[in-house]
Amino acid sequence: MSDVETDQYLVERTQAGDKHAFELLVTRYQGRLSRLIARFVRDPAEQEEVTQDAFIRAYRALATFRGDSAFYTWLYRIAINTAKNHLAASGRRIPSTSYRQQGEDDEPVDDALTPRDLGTPESLLLSKEMAETVNQAIDSLPEDLRTAIQMREIEGLSYEEIAGVMDCPIGTVRSRIFRAREAIAGKLRPLLDLGSRQRW
Amino acid sequence: MTDDERMSALLDGECELEPEVIKRLASDPDLRNLGRDYQTVGDLLRGHATPHFDTVRFQTRLAAEPVVMVGRGRRSVSLKMAWPSWQTGLSTVAASVAVVLVSSLVWPPQGGTELNSDAAGVAVVPKSVVGAPSAAAPNASLSPGIHEYLLAHEPVAGSFMSRDAGNFVRPVADVQSGSRLR
């Protein structure tokens, strides 16, 4: 099942009344959507509120989603409108540097948000510490796990493509990526718990 | 494959999803947190930051929302688009008129009088040529298959089909041998 097929399946399940399916869509996209909204809204508490609002608006509008575009493209537009409405309601202008001028029908831009964009000195310090931890964790991984996770997360290759490059079955790729994530997340967890207690 | 591994694959869009799997992955808070952690690992590897998102609070908000149910509505909309109700009524009237018209031409009020096909403008087979039609005694020239077909459709088509339509139906063998209605 490809990325698009996974989304389509989860959308159809949600449209059939399964809220759990929508929660998985949220799990898949909360990071990207949060970073997108952080380009409009600087305050971390507001960012989270607007992100949640965008997901709720998407859920309410899901009955009208026909799959003419990819789910994330559709969600992206809802998020931008939610952020714009939030700024308009609070009498603020859309920050011109945070958002490339786009039409409603444009495809989503890469919503890479660096830790520096998130602002507070505490968050910057924590982000630096997390980045160092991840680097150490990935250096300590066995070669096959490190290659698999890097090809997936940095190069964006599919499991099938990675299997082709590494000359192994797709199941092995899936297992290597999972074990790499587990190893890195294990070393990161104390910092992740700290991060969830202190709002970024 | 464990559910932890499934969550990892789901984030990559590489997981075979079944309703039961969706339910397990979404309803277990530990699995959801795992998904969040894996997302963060990916973000950090790409040099991205991950803003805070309170999953528990979102679930509370989502739970308060009415359930989305569009399956039936969407199907009924597409049916209406394909066959609007006014068309249904119109076609019913047209079919009724056609049946009355054909019946009046084939079986005029005078009874067994032969029709002049030229005068009527319609190719009509005189009853005397094919014999008196009857549901109990089907036209001998009809194959058993056709007769069964006509009998099976009698409840829908009325007596016209089974008793008299046989006059206008020829077995395939006749068509293939080149015989014509006389």
> B44, A59: Cβ pair inside 8 Å?
no
Separation CA A121–CA A128 (nearest Å)? 11
Res A108: pLDDT: 57
Q: Report ipTM (2 d.p.).
A: 0.80
Look up residue B120 and give its DSSP letter: H
- pLDDT tens digits, one per residue of B116-168: 433 333 333 344 444 444 444 445 555 666 666 666 665 555 444 444 444 55
Through-space distance between the first and last CA atoms of chain B, rounded to whole angstroms: 75
Domain boundaries, chain A: 1-95, 100-200
Separation CA A35–CA A197 (nearest Å)? 19
For A:161-190, CB contacts with B below 8 A are 170, 174-175, 177-178, 181-182, 184-185, 188-189
**Predicted TM-score (pTM) of this structure:** 0.62
> B73, A63: Cβ pair inside 8 Å?
yes
Spell out the per-residue pLDDT of chain A, length 200, in tens.
677 888 998 999 999 999 999 999 999 999 889 989 988 988 888 999 999 999 999 999 998 898 888 999 999 999 999 999 999 888 877 766 545 544 444 555 555 555 555 556 777 787 788 888 999 999 999 999 999 999 999 999 999 999 999 999 999 999 999 999 999 999 988 887 765 545 44
Look up residue B124 and give its DSSP letter: -
Query: What six digits make up the tokens of A104?
Result: 């409603």
Three-state DSSP state, A37: helix
Q: For chain A, how many residues are written?
A: 200
Query: What six digits make up the tokens of A118?
Result: 């998130």
| CATH tag, A1-95 | 1.10.1740.10
- pLDDT tens digits, one per residue of A15-29: 999 999 999 999 999
For A:23-82, CB contacts with B below 8 A are 23-24, 26-28, 30-31, 34-35, 37-38, 44, 47-48, 51-52, 55-56, 59-60, 62-63
- pLDDT tens digits, one per residue of A120-156: 677 778 778 888 899 999 999 999 999 999 999 999 9
- pLDDT tens digits, one per residue of B60-93: 999 999 988 776 544 333 333 334 444 555 566 6
B30 in contact with A, Cβ within 8 Å: no
> B67, A17: Cβ pair inside 8 Å?
yes
Chain B environment of A24 (Cβ under 8 Å): 10, 22, 25-26
| CATH tag, A100-200 | 1.10.10.10
